[in-house]
Amino acid sequence: MSQSGKDLFLGWLTDGAGGEELGAGTGITTAARAKKGRDQILRILNNHLTFHVTSSHSLTISPNVWEESTGLMKSLIPPQSAEVDNDTVMANGTAVEQFNAAHGSLKLGIPGPEGALKDEVEKILQEDHAHTVQMANGQIPHHLAHPDIRGMIQPPSNGHPVPTPNELPPMPPNFRTVDIKREVERVRDMRRRIKLDASNFSAMERKEFSMNGFDQRQVTARQKALPSICCYTFKDAPEGDHTARLWTSDRVLPLRIFAGHLSDVDCVKFHPNSLYLATGSSDSTCRLWDVQTGLCVRVFLGHQGPVTAMATSPDGKYLASAGEDLAINLWDLGTGKRVKKMTGHTATIYSLAFSQETSVLVSGGADWTVRCWDVKSSGGLATKSSGGGAGAGEDATIADANGFVKRAAGGGGGGTEATTEKEEDDNFATRDLMETFPTKRTPILNVHFTPRNLCLAAGFYQPPVGEMPFERR
């Protein structure tokens, strides 16, 4: 913490700031009870906490560095060398980065089916295509008449190394009919998938649509950007240790124990290539583990509360995490760095899911809403500038090598306009919030994208206080 923060904290504990007689102030309660309470808190602080005070002014350190340099740093990250100064680590935020960099690059590529299985899948798809052409009597578009079937079978590259068969978890020596069926269905789903393109529905268009919603061009852009959401509500549904464990059905003991979190592990998610496992914990951190060795290879530090939901992107490059701090963090698995922070939910977030192209992220939570987020946009809190011409309310943007949009310096805009009550309520929502789908009284416990990009959401109906259950009416 900063020196001024430390002084205020100690002043509150000892009543030194007010100048009252020791034990006579209102730091906790009053008189003797105040002194007793302060003594108990001081005992806990002295026995269980370590304070690192930076000489840098608190305003010179970005909020992201404060979030990623919490008191858990010492327990989560191996000790720095003696010559590394605490102020340098705090100012640059390099402790987590040094830990992640020490484990080198990860093999996050998605492997395709092995040779013989790939040939069988290609044979079936060729037969399907020949049957389709025959049924169409030659009336078929040119781009569909000669599809690249072999290219569809092989997952597209995400720019990261692909693990070799020897580096992947052990697989059965021979494939079965169910394996062929699974790969064929994957390609069929990919060809019939609903393509979601959030870039067609910019933040300015979303604002204009919310005000009128009758412009056909904006309606079309909205339909192309947002998924179709089907929500299931269940009426009257009921509502360890610090490790994650890997099990197999033919053994009574775990294959791997992933130990390192400081509190309960609340959510787990496999990487698409099954070589890595992501975990989220009540210690406010996420970790990425090597399934083969059981070692932690990445630590993600930035949440301010327990992590309750995670999702890995289908292309294997990103991890999204959310929790009781009402924030969704998007992480780059290759570097271990946070790409951006998304806010807008008003209660704990229970579930996350990526669309198949990694362009849209859907979240559901205890605030009875399903929310859609633009993964590639820059995010950040919405600006209040207006006026001028087209795009006056938005900053100029550029795209980086990964397709993520970044705001350029400056931006159009004339004066300012008075904010409405709704705008004031939404001031904490970031610009990448595309749409909010409210339910009546259903906390959303799970959201899921099908292979064809249909979004499913599920939760239990939460009746108002005093409402009679349905079966008793």
Alpha carbons 449 and 352: distance in angstroms, whole number: 10
Is residue 225 within 8 Å of residue 202, measured between CB atoms? Answer: no
Alpha carbons 339 and 330: distance in angstroms, whole number: 5
pTM above 0.85, yes or no: no
pLDDT tens-digit profile, the chain (473 residues): 666 667 777 776 665 444 444 444 444 445 566 667 777 777 777 777 766 676 666 666 666 666 666 554 555 555 555 455 554 444 445 567 777 887 888 888 888 888 888 888 888 888 887 777 777 666 665 555 566 777 778 888 888 888 888 888 877 778 888 888 888 888 888 877 777 777 766 665 665 555 555 566 666 666 667 777 777 665 554 446 788 888 887 777 888 889 888 888 999 999 998 899 999 999 889 999 999 888 999 999 889 889 999 999 999 999 999 989 999 999 999 988 899 999 999 999 999 999 988 999 999 999 999 999 999 888 787 665 444 443 444 445 555 555 555 555 444 444 444 444 445 445 678 888 988 999 988 999 999 998 888 899 999 888 887 665 555 44
Is residue 355 within 8 Å of residue 190, measured between CB atoms? Answer: no
- The count of other CB atoms within 10 Å of the CB of residue 99 is 20
Which DSSP state fits 212?
T
Where are the alpha helices (H) located in 103-215, listed in sequence order?
Answer: 115-136, 142-145, 149-153, 177-191, 203-211
Torsions phi, psi of 210, nearest 5?
Answer: -70, -20
- The count of other CB atoms within 10 Å of the CB of residue 136 is 12
User: How many contiguous H segments (helices) and E segments (strands) does the chain have?
Assistant: 13, 19
Is residue 290 within 8 Å of residue 105, measured between CB atoms? Answer: no
Contacts of 284 (CB under 8 A, 6+ apart): 70, 72, 301, 303, 304, 305, 306, 307, 323, 325
User: CB burial class (10 A; 0-12, 13-18, 19+) of residue 231?
Assistant: middle
Question: 431-459: string of b/e by CB count within 10 Å (b at 16+)?
Answer: bbbbbebebeebbbbebebeeebebbbbb
Contacts of 431 (CB under 8 A, 6+ apart): 203, 377, 378, 379, 380, 381, 382
* HSE-CB of 447 using CA atoms within 13 angstroms: 32
Six token digits for residue 269: 């998610």
Alpha carbons 23 and 9: distance in angstroms, whole number: 16
- Facing residues of 59 across strands? none
